[in-house]
């Protein structure tokens, strides 16, 4: 048989709690107020940057160290050669002396150089050319027998000397020596020598005497100096007392007496030169 159903409990249900939370009488007095410390709008808000990178104050300026015009430019020399205190003459002096000297004053080396220059001129035909020039002027009386006798011969000797100097560097300072017949005449009269040859070194050393050319030279071993060669006689001949001293007269006396006497004394081809 079927069991009878379990009876419903008779116990009254538990009453609603008497301590139920009453309806609030007031809004809670301790309610969390709206925060009074609400984060305000930031008073320290990052302002517009006061340290904004300004327009660069250190912008690379136009270079202040631009290479300046050199301060060490080579200055005008402070040791510039000053204007000479000894003014250069307008005509430069000759490189070598043009002073003619007696053959007797020449050194052995100077004599050797001069003789070599004459030999070179002869080998080249220049010596003969000058001899012809002199001879032609004698024929036409252009350099002899006129008042230009002294001037012409001075120019002629300069040309001859220039010719010798042009023959080579070793002859660049050659000068034509002169025959000091006055001093040789003094020695002759003093009896220290007996003839032109023994009294005059130039007569012995410039090719000797009696050489066989178209005209022989005189025999200087026998030739004597004449009284015309003394200082006193030359002065009286050239500047005779009581006579006019015009250029023509003096030139004539020098050529006809002193000059010709030496040519005649030497003889040979010198009497025709």
Q: What is the pLDDT of residue 164?
A: 98
Q: What is the DSSP string of 71-135?
A: TT--PSPTTPPPPPSSPPPSSPPPSS-----BGGG--HHHHHHHHHHHHHHHHHTHHHHHHHHHH
Count the neighbouring beta carbons within 10 Å of the beta carbon of residue 184.
22
For residues 231 and 224, the answer to whether their CB atoms sit within 8 Å is no
Pick from 24, 32, 175: nearest CA to 94: 175
Buried b (16+ CB within 10 A) or exposed e, 204-239: eebeebeeeeeeebbebeebebeebbbeebbeebbe
Q: Identify the residue whose tokens are 């030359």.
A: 234
Give the pLDDT of the chain (273 residues) as one tens digit per residue: 545 555 555 545 555 555 444 544 454 444 445 555 545 555 554 555 555 555 555 555 555 555 556 555 565 655 556 565 555 555 555 578 899 999 999 999 999 999 999 999 999 999 999 988 888 876 666 788 888 888 999 999 999 999 999 999 999 999 999 998 888 888 888 888 888 888 888 888 886 555 454 445 555 455 555 555 666 667 777 777 777 678 888 888 888 877 877 777 777 667 666
> Which whole-number Å values give the CA distances from 268 to 212, 215, 263, in the listed order?
11, 6, 9
């Amino acid at each position: 048989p079927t069991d009878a159903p379990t009876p419903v409990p008779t116990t009254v249900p538990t009453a609603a709690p008497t301590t139920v939370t009453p309806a609030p009488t007031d809004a809670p007095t301790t309610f969390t107020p709206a925060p009074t410390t609400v984060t305000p709008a930031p008073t320290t808000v990052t302002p517009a940057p006061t340290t904004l990178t300004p327009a660069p104050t250190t912008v690379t300026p136009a270079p202040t160290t631009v290479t300046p015009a050199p301060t060490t430019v080579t200055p005008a020399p402070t040791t510039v050669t000053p204007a000479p205190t000894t003014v250069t003459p307008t005509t430069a002096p000759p490189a070598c002396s043009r002073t003619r000297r007696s053959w007797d004053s020449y050194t052995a080396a100077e004599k050797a150089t001069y003789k070599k220059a004459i030999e070179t001129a002869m080998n080249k035909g220049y010596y003969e050319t000058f001899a012809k020039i002199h001879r032609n002027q004698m024929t036409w009386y252009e350099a002899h027998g006129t008042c230009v006798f002294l001037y012409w011969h001075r120019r002629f000797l300069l040309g001859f000397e220039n010719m010798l100097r042009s023959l080579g560097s070793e002859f660049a300072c050659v000068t034509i020596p002169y025959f000091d017949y006055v001093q040789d005449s003094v020695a002759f009269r003093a009896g220290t020598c007996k003839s032109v040859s023994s009294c005059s070194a130039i007569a012995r050393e410039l090719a000797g005497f009696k050489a066989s050319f178209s005209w022989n030279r005189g025999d200087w071993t026998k030739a004597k100096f004449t009284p015309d060669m003394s200082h006193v006689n030359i002065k009286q001949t050239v500047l005779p007392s009581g006579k006019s001293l015009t250029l023509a007269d003096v030139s004539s006396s020098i050529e006809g007496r002193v000059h010709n006497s030496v040519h005649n004394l030497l003889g040979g081809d010198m009497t025709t030169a």
